[in-house]
Structure 1
Amino acid sequence: MADQIPFVDYLVLGDEPHLVARECAGCGARYFDRRIACAACGTRDFSPVPVARTGEVRAFTIVTFAAPGVPVPFVAALVDCDGTSVRGNLVGVPPDPGHVHLGMKVALTTYVAGTDGTGVDAVNYGFAPVEA
């Protein structure tokens, strides 16, 4: 198996890949980026918390134009993972409205987004449909 690194710092790889958010100690708001203070309440104390690996599509768009080198079309979605909003692409589903819908059940998955010249894989996350 090739060496792997996460594409984003809030993706934890291993036997059960998952996302880790930073939760505000004051109000419980969750963020995936670095924060000096909570945007909701101003608190400066955060704790890492694992995010549910399954969720429901709350919003989506089918992207047909992107930066050079980014394959299109693809589905970008907002997924509710047990109360935490996560932005990610849907994978393993055709990018058309006949195959994607609001309320669709999905699960976190990982895939190799690219490999560098030394053979190290950059692993990203997405969400795949869950069979009903």
Structure 2
Amino acid sequence: MAGRIPLVDYLVLDGDEPHLVAQECTNCSARFFDRRNACANCFASEFTTVPIPTEGTVRAFTIVAFAAPGIPTPFVAAVVDCGGTQVRANLVNVEPDPEHVHDGMRVRLTTQSIGTDTEGTEAMGFGFEPLTKEDRR
């Protein structure tokens, strides 16, 4: 295999454990996952890159029943609090119904293959999965 590349710039695949990184404003500590010229909170223009914890808690979710053609449904879209940083991602490896997903559920970052090109390079995406069987209810 030729290697792996992240689907988004803020997913880090190098090292021991995949993780996310955010751009943190050096003035007010607001965090953003996309490139910024200025902070949306205080308008400062200096940022540092900070790692985001790989475990978190579901703060909000919705079960998506209708999506664009070719997107399998249902799936769970969620906001996960990772040590004070809000991450929007899908929940994976859990049944997409209210009996298995709940606010306060503990989750951890996981990666999955999105596809492989003709040269064998694998594109990797991320989501969150329940931390323990008890978190699946």
Scaled by the length of structure 2, the TM-score of the pair is 0.93
Which whole-Å CA distance do the structure 1 matches of 2:28 and 2:125 have between them? 29
CA RMSD of the aligned region, Å? 1.0
Aligned counterpart, 1:116: 117
Q: Which runs of 5 or more residues in structure 1 are unaligned? A: none
Aligned counterpart, 2:11: 11
Which whole-Å CA distance do the structure 1 matches of 2:64 and 2:110 have between them? 20
SS of residue matched to 1:101: coil
How many equivalent residue pairs?
A: 132
Q: Which amino acid aligns with 1:120?
A: T
Aligned counterpart, 2:105: 104
- Listed as ranges, the matches of 1:1-132 within 5 Å are 1-14=1-14, 15-131=16-132, 132=134
Question: Could you tell me whether the CA contact under 8 Å between 2:2 and 2:119 is conserved in 1?
Answer: no
Question: Could you tell me how far 1:65 is from its partner in structure 2?
Answer: 1.1
- Cα deviation digits, residues 44-98 of structure 1 (max 9, x gap): 0000000000000000001111111111111000000000000000010000000
Q: Which runs of 5 or more residues in structure 2 are unaligned? A: none
Scaled by the length of structure 1, the TM-score of the pair is 0.96
Question: Could you tell me how far 1:118 is from its partner in structure 2?
Answer: 2.1
- Cα deviation digits, residues 83-120 of structure 1 (max 9, x gap): 00000000100000000000000000100011222221
Which portions of structure 1, spanning 4 or more consecutive aligned residues, are displaced by more than 4 angstroms? none
Q: Which amino acid aligns with 1:89?
A: N
Percent of residue pairs identical: 63
